[in-house]
Amino acid sequence: MLKSVTLKIISIVIIIFVLAGVGIAFYYWQKVSKIASSNSEKTVFEIKEGESTLEIAEGLEEDGYIRSAWYFATLVKYRHHILQPGAYLISPNMKVSEIINKISSGETSLIKITIPEGWRREQIAQYLDGQGSIEYQSFITAAEGFDGKLFPDTFYVTLETTAEDAVKLMNEDYIERIDGLEVSDNDLVLASIVEREAKNNGERAAIAGVYKNRLNIDMKLEADPTVIYGSDNIELDKLSSDARKEYKFWKSISSLGYKNSQNPYNTYLFKGLPPGPICNPGLMSIEATLNYQKHNYYYFFHDADGDIHFSKTSTEHENAIAKYGLAQ
């Protein structure tokens, strides 16, 4: 009799534990399978080549798209889905199954574009045209007057993105990046020169200091990139629309060309800053210009090994060039 009662008690305890386990599992399943939030705003989530399902799941949880990385990864495995690399527009109010279906389809209308520091407007137009997203001339027209303020960064666009949309995206990024900084038009022009001159981040503030010193004594800047920029402008004017899409920018010119190129950007001929930015500088060049290095140097050059040399006088400068040689 006692044995029978004991068995009943054990059975009841087991049943209670099983029911409790099932209840907890059901509660947890309901909780983690629900949408992460009611926020319906779609933002970009990127899956990189080679990322594992768990890494992707953890990224989704960290960014607030899902409640549980474990549940997401388990469901992907159970349904035998393969998550595809790419950039997807998703929102926290999508169901987990909807997100899985979206990023396993590989169907993304987003195009990832990356604009390097130091590109001029026309180079950006060439790149976008080559990506098949925005036609060259449309961007040139839309970006008129935004030189220097098309921030170099990584963006996502769609096939429906217009040239005006792209310009707005890049300009708003510029405005956001310089928030809290007082950047004048002249600062931006000088930053664009620094961007084209510097070989690495450590040189930027010192190069900006050289040009500040020259400006302070009304000395010509003699900045090679400004001359090349103006020369490229002249060459572009001679070309057809199709030929402009293939033009190669920033080609070196002869020392005689620097002195004879008749364009308003030739800082070997004209004192002061050129009429406008010669490229779109990155934040480091802008900050280096605002916080330029104070020193007594008025000359600099890069040698054949890419190292930079600063000099206080023209004699020192010429002697250093003779000793180390100019970069080719």
Nearest residue to 262 (alpha-carbon basis) of 225, 233, 299: 233
Question: pLDDT tens digit string along 192-230?
Answer: 999 999 999 999 999 999 999 999 999 999 999 999 999
Nearest residue to 137 (alpha-carbon basis) of 230, 292, 245: 245
The class level of CATH for 36-108 reads alpha beta
Phi-psi region for residue 270, left (φ > 0), alpha (ψ -120 to 50) or beta? beta
Quickly list DSSP for 173-216. Answer: HHHHHTTT----HHHHHHHHHHHHH-SSGGGHHHHHHHHHHHHH
Q: What is the mean pLDDT of residues 283-303?
A: 97
Query: What is d(CA 291, CA 243) in angstroms, rounded to the nearest whole number?
Result: 40
Measured from the Cβ of residue 254, the count of other Cβ atoms closer than 10 Å reads: 9
Question: pLDDT tens digit string along 167-189?
Answer: 999 999 999 999 999 999 999 99
User: For position 165, what pLDDT does the model report?
Assistant: 95
Nearest residue to 84 (alpha-carbon basis) of 98, 60, 102: 102
pLDDT surpassing 60 at residue 11: no
Residue whose token pair is 């900050």: 287
Question: pLDDT tens digit string along 28-73?
Answer: 455 455 676 778 887 888 898 899 999 999 999 999 998 888 888 9
Q: What is the mean pLDDT of residues 305-325?
A: 95
**What number of helices (H) and strands (E) belong to the chain?**
14, 6
Q: Strand runs (DSSP E) across 91-198, as ranges? A: 110-114, 154-158
**Domain assignments of the chain as residue spans, ordered by start:** 36-108, 111-177, 185-324
Measured from the Cβ of residue 313, the count of other Cβ atoms closer than 10 Å reads: 12
User: For position 35, what pLDDT does the model report?
Assistant: 76
Q: What is the mean pLDDT of residues 279-308?
A: 97
Query: What is d(CA 279, CA 194) in angstroms, rounded to the nearest whole number?
Result: 10
User: For position 158, what pLDDT does the model report?
Assistant: 83
Question: pLDDT tens digit string along 107-142?
Answer: 777 888 999 999 999 999 999 999 888 999 999 999
User: For position 196, what pLDDT does the model report?
Assistant: 98
Q: Strand runs (DSSP E) across the chain, as ranges? A: 43-47, 86-90, 110-114, 154-158, 299-302, 308-311
Give the angle 93-98-100 at the CA atoms, nearest 5°: 120
Element (H, E) at 225: helix 224-237
Q: What is the mean pLDDT of residues 310-322?
A: 96
